[in-house]
Amino acid sequence: MDTGWAVKLYGVADEVLWTIKLNALWILFTLAGGIALGIGPATLAAYSLTRRRSSGESFHALPAFRTAFRQEFRRGTLLVLPLAVAAVLLVGNYLYFAALGAALPRLASLVALVALGLIAGYALPMAVHYDLGVRLLLPKASLLALARPASSLVLLFVAVSIAYLSVRFAVFGVLLAGGAWIRLDTWLCLRFFAENDARLHPSSH
């Protein structure tokens, strides 16, 4: 009997269940912090655990998430909360200008929102991968987004795909969307970072 398919199916099911668990922990700890004080450390905790799992490390999700949440409380709040506030303001601007029928301001808001999303897409995995202060993360993430347009397009495609699936299938949006984005964003960015480091420091590889 060929057990190859069974092993692969088990692996896929395990990854989906872990993503659901990660998504639930991210939402739970965000709410536990009253959203404003929870979203930052919960987000960095989710990225931290995803990076650890990507490297093959084994751990219990809940205690590991709780520990990471505490460790990342200050840095996560300083990094993520301003990004979240800016995103809310830009979405508000987009909807406002759309209601007015003002095409150019609406387009400008959309472009700014996309740029912010790409910067965040690099900055959050960077925060748990490199030993960088909060002040350095956003400039370095912005530079990387500009220096790697193909990688940025891949991240944008993934984000749009997850957003589409979340709108199309509400269950996916509730159970998987946040965890799926964090996992895919981390997986992709770790490879982008490795490629970029190899290009910048060829002698060390």
What's the mean pLDDT in 182-205? 87
Is residue 65 a contact partner of residue 45, using CB atoms and an 8 Å limit?
Answer: yes
Distance CA 183, CA 205 (A): 26
Alpha helices in the chain (DSSP H): 4-32, 39-54, 61-71, 73-100, 103-129, 134-147, 149-168, 170-175, 177-200
Dump the DSSP string for 29-83: HHHHTTTTTTHHHHHHHHHHHHHHHHTT----HHHHHHHHHHHTHHHHHHHHHHH
- Number of domains the chain contains: 1
Residue 203's pLDDT is: 64
pTM for the model = 0.93
The pLDDT tens digits for 63-102 are 999 999 999 999 999 999 999 999 999 999 999 999 999 9
Residue 152's pLDDT is: 96
Domain containing 126 equals 4-204
Query: Does the pLDDT value for residue 205 go beyond 60?
Result: no
Residue 204's pLDDT is: 56
